A and B are shown apart, each in its own frame.
Chain A
Amino acid sequence: MKKTLITLTTTVALGAMAAHAEEVRVYNWSDYIDEDLLGKFEEETGIKLIYDVFDSNEVLETKMLAGGSGYDVVVPSGTFLQRQITAGAFQKLDMAQLSNKGNMWDAIEARTAKYDPDNAYSINYMWGTTGIGVNVGKVQEALGADAPIDSLALVFDPANMEKLADCGVHLLDAPAEIIPAALAYIGEDPDSHDKDVIAKVEPILTAVRPYIQKFHSSEYINALANGDICVAIGWSGDILQARDRAAEAENGVEIAYSAPSEGALMWFDQMAIPVDAPNPEAAHKFLNFIMDAQNMADASNYVYYANGNLASQPLLEEDVIGDPAIYPNDETIKNLYTTTPYPQKVQRVVTRMWTKIKSGT
């Protein structure tokens, strides 16, 4: 969340463009695209692309609900998308302008229809799971060679956490991700909206709270890669990016990602066009550009997230399409669950509990 304060503004300027050039403003997650694609879009369409980034759904949602964000394309996750559609924040896509729509993967569209019926408002950009990233060496040093690195017990069992505290544990600062995981750990329905069921999470998290160094939603990529921390609950692709950064740095850090055996949250980041987008036509062009098989493959090859584009799959590199941490096999997919947004009253209880867990008040 802290990063939101200095939301890095990457403006890709194109010298050749006329001063009154057409513009399209895209607001996407940080570390979430191959930046070469931004230049390619400008070259192909002659539209100036202004690309800003955020690292929390809450920040995006506040901008959407305030209205007049000035963005043409934004990328909320499924549950947030659903709520924002209800609030009237998005416009229906004009399928006639999206010639690449046929590239999309029906298996994913069937799942995203839960948030966006008929996929009328959004296209899938990337999807992934929320799971456990570990520094294999350090965790085995702390817990022995048979450390449960694919189990939520690693972070929710105080006995394990006590030993891990010294090498550093980060959790996402996102109650909508951590609470379902804790519910899965105790065998409850991760998508429960029942306040009494959700309340069962509090003692579990409070018990391990003293051993958690930080709740943060983007710092763990670098922290894992540098060896500053040894365990993070985070998003699959982010942890895989950490794995690759560590491998490139040859610093002896080996990072592994696993979707927890108790079940892992499957999430979808969807591209949508705000109802008051200044340039919806250019926004459609951007969406169509992203749905191009080669472009989508380039993006996935770069960020290590699976995408919802079936046509891009033959173009994916083997370490992406062949990695079950990115494209889960049929076995793992059975173990994945999805969640739906909390109603306002439950949301308040959840936030309050989250504050209490984090601050002790």
Chain B
Amino acid sequence: MRRFALIAVPYLWLLALFLVPFVIVLKISLSDSALAIPPYLPTLDLKAGWSGITEFFSQLDFENFVWLTEDDLYWKAYLSSLKIALVSTVLTLAVGFPIAYGMARAPQHWRATLLLLVILPFWTSFLIRVYSWMGILSQEGYLNQFLMGIGLINEPLIILNTNVAVYIGIVYTYLPFMILPIYSALEKLDESLLEAAEDLGCSRMSAFWLVTVPLSKQGIIAGSFLVFIPTLGEFVIPSLLGGSKTLMIGKILWEEFFSNRDWPVASAVAVILLLILVIPIILFQRNEQKQREAEG
């Protein structure tokens, strides 16, 4: 009984916060848009009893999904989102790994402080932090003022409203999600393994690649998924820092929803996005499980 309750709690959680919303979105994606409140048809009329339910299901169709294949905008936006998410993940890893490595190598009594420094920015609202980047990166912003002040450049760099700004924003925002799992993997690393490698004639560099990196693999994988998955559907960062040329699926969703008032197509876009995300999420779960088994 106790075992049952233990399993039931997470499943109830999944049911309430994932499955139910998903079914609602899926249902809307099979409807037709209409000028009404809510702006789609059909709506389920339970009062009509069984005939109401069959009537409802007979009106659902996959028309909106067909529509998504007919216009190249959608797959271009999915591809562009995938590309931005991949590049951001690699960049975040490149920045995050050395930080995590430095933290794990720091003297024991420093680590708590360093860890706090990584987490500290979360105490400020995410939106305000992204807005601050607008102030830093804009044409008259701090970065350009500084670079022109020290005479490195004569003309202000145009960074804001480009993809570069989007990458900066994403790397900055998701960095802690990369650092923390890598740090936790590196911290557990047995240093005698590195000494052994060196005793056996390994240079420090190759010991790093042959011992440290493989042993922190789980952390790298976990961090990469934690960055990749939310970045794929990211809306706030590209819309604040990106220009109108930054094509991401989150923005397309916004346009379908707000400009076209087409909730069914917007829902279809969301369902496809979720299907794309299912693969990395499953891989992530597998990785977590492997890790648990290895530790167990």
Identity of the chain B residue whose Cβ is nearest the Cβ of A67 in the assembled complex: B37
Per-residue A-contact encoding for B49-91, CB less than 8 Å = 1, 0 else: 0000000000000000000000111001100000000000000
Which of chain A's residues have a CB closer than 8 A to the CB of B9? none
Distance of A275 Cα from B240 Cα, bound (Å): 34
Known: A5-B127, A87-B36. A228 touches B139 (CB 8 A): yes
- Number of cross-chain contacts by CB at 8 Å: 79
Identity of the chain B residue whose Cβ is nearest the Cβ of A87 in the assembled complex: B35
Per-residue A-contact encoding for B105-146, CB less than 8 Å = 1, 0 else: 000000000000000000000010001000000011000000
Which of chain B's residues have a CB closer than 8 A to the CB of A175? 259
Which of chain A's residues have a CB closer than 8 A to the CB of B33? 344
User: Is A5's CB under 8 angstroms from B239's CB?
Assistant: yes
- Complex partner residue of B244 from A59, A88, A214, A228, CB under 8 angstroms: A214
Identity of the chain A residue whose Cβ is nearest the Cβ of B254 in the assembled complex: A1
Which of chain A's residues have a CB closer than 8 A to the CB of B262? 344, 348
Asked if B151 is at the interface of the complex by the 8 Å CB criterion, the answer is no
* Closest CB in chain A relative to B158 CB, distance in Å: 9
User: Is A352's CB under 8 angstroms from B71's CB?
Assistant: yes
User: Is B244's CB under 8 angstroms from A67's CB?
Assistant: no
Which of chain B's residues have a CB closer than 8 A to the CB of A249? none
A202-219 CB contacts (< 8 Å) to partner B = 213-215
User: Is B244's CB under 8 angstroms from A215's CB?
Assistant: yes
Asked if B188 is at the interface of the complex by the 8 Å CB criterion, the answer is no
B3-19 CB contacts (< 8 Å) to partner A = none
Asked if B236 is at the interface of the complex by the 8 Å CB criterion, the answer is yes
Chain A: interface size category: 35 or more
Which of chain B's residues have a CB closer than 8 A to the CB of A213? 161
Asked if A358 is at the interface of the complex by the 8 Å CB criterion, the answer is yes
User: Is B261's CB under 8 angstroms from A61's CB?
Assistant: yes
* Closest CB in chain B relative to A13 CB, distance in Å: 22
User: Is B244's CB under 8 angstroms from A58's CB?
Assistant: no
User: Which residues of A are interface residues toward B (Cβ below 8 A)?
Assistant: 1-2, 5-6, 56, 58-59, 61-62, 64-67, 83, 86-89, 175, 213-215, 228, 275, 344, 347-348, 351-352, 354-356, 358-361
User: Which residues of B are interface residues toward A (Cβ below 8 A)?
Assistant: 33, 35-39, 71-73, 76-77, 127, 131, 139-140, 161, 236, 239-240, 243-247, 252, 255, 257-262
Q: What would be 25 A-B contacts, judged by CB atoms less than 8 Å apart?
A: A5-B236, A5-B240, A6-B127, A58-B258, A64-B37, A65-B37, A65-B39, A66-B37, A67-B37, A67-B38, A88-B37, A213-B161, A214-B244, A275-B37, A344-B33, A344-B35, A355-B73, A355-B255, A356-B73, A358-B244, A359-B246, A359-B247, A360-B245, A361-B73, A361-B247
Ranked 10 nearest A-B pairs via Cβ:
A358-B244, A58-B258, A65-B39, A67-B37, A351-B259, A87-B35, A351-B260, A359-B247, A62-B258, A87-B36
- Other A-B pairs beyond A347-B261, A358-B245, A361-B72, 5, CB < 8 Å: A66-B37, A228-B139, A348-B260, A352-B73, A361-B77
